[in-house]
Amino acid sequence: MTDTKPVAVVSQNNTLGIISLVAGIIGVILFVCCSYISVVLGIVALICGILAYQQKQQFALAGIILGAISIVLGIIFVIVGQVFIRELLPVIQREIRMMRF
Amino acid sequence: MNLPVKPVKRWAEWILLLFTLVTIVLVYFYVASPAFRDMVQPHQCLFSEATGLLCPACGGTRAIIHLLDGQLILALKSNLLAVLILPIIAYGTFTASRLVFDRNFGPSDIKIAPFWLWSLLAALIIFWIIRNLPYFSFLGPL
């Protein structure tokens, strides 16, 4: 089988890079509310980003960085979040209510 | 595009197999045993607790529970996005398993128009804003 090279320059396929970027953005946005989803999306963004980086696609590095951030934040908030809701949040809300502006 | 065929990564096969098995076992236990069903509690949302607003995933657990019970309308009322996003997750899992098992299918063969990927992000953000408006309160969880 012979490879025929296309005459015109084919526009680069950036699908993996954009998947990685979008998953990373959603993961970083969602870490406050649902950290589990954020961890999963971060893993998706990291894997897609690495695959895209090997093919020199656009947005690959951004996706890798955002994926790593959302994995780290997600794991921290999975561990800390429920304790934060139970212990710290009532205190903070009470303090805010007591404040005089 | 003909890339040199890479050997299939064994660990990726095992991870996919484990993922499938765990999903099947969890769904089986959920449907079969009432004790396990009682253990599934909705996850407390930090954003919702702190601000009183709804996040885009609020009601997601309830939506999946209603889906497993076979009540589609209740699931859609709990969280529209979580139900509508399931086919996308299914397609993603299918593509990932094709990447692992199909030797003629490389990462550069995945082609989705960028418009749809960006509109997914836009849909999430619009859904987040809209479900907190009083007029669209039917989008919130019950």
Q: How many domains does chain A have?
A: 1
Q: Count the neighbouring beta carbons within 10 Å of the beta carbon of residue A37.
A: 20
Alpha helix segments (H runs only) across B52-139? 60-68, 72-78, 80-84, 86-101, 114-130
Give residue-wise pLDDT tens across range A38-80: 999 999 999 899 988 988 888 899 999 999 999 999 998 888 8
Is A59 within a domain? Answer: yes
* B3 part of a folded domain: no
CA closest to B51 among chain A residues = A93
Q: Please determine, for residue B133, whether its predicted confidence score (pLDDT) is greater than 70.
A: yes
Q: Is residue A6 one of the residues assigned to a domain?
A: no
Distance from CA of B73 to the nearest CA of A (A): 23
Residue A2 included in any domain: no
Structural domains of chain B, count: 1
Q: Can you give the pLDDT at residue A3?
A: 63
pLDDT, one tens digit per residue, over B19-33 is 889 989 988 888 888
Helix axis angle, A60-83 to A15-30, nearest 10° = 20
A32:B47 CB<8 A: yes
* Residue-range definition of the domain harbouring residue A59: 15-98
Among chain B residues, the shortest Cα distance to A5 is held by: B1
Helix, strand, or coil (residue A23): helix
Residue B5 belongs to some domain of the structure: no
Query: Quick check: is B96 in a domain?
Result: yes
The 3-state DSSP class for residue B79 equals coil
Rounded to two decimals, the pTM is: 0.78
Q: Which residues of B touch A13 (CB under 8 A)?
A: 108, 111
Q: Tell me how many degrees the CA angle B127-B130-B132 measures, rounded to the nearest 5.
A: 110
Distance from CA of B59 to the nearest CA of A (A): 11
Give yes or no for a contact between A33 and B58, defined as CB atoms under 8 angstroms apart: yes
Give domain status of residue A1, yes or no: no
Chain A residue with CA closest to B111: the answer is A15
ipTM, two decimals? 0.77
Q: What is the pLDDT of residues A26-40, one digit of tens each?
A: 999 888 877 888 999
Question: Looking at the partner chain, which of A19, A22, A85 has a beta carbon nearest the beta carbon of B49?
Answer: A85
Residue at B1 is within a domain: no
Within a domain: B24: yes
Domain residue limits at B99: 10-139
Give the Cα separation of B22 and A44 in Å (integer): 18
The per-residue pLDDT for range B65-97, each reduced to its tens digit, is 888 888 899 888 888 988 999 999 889 888 888
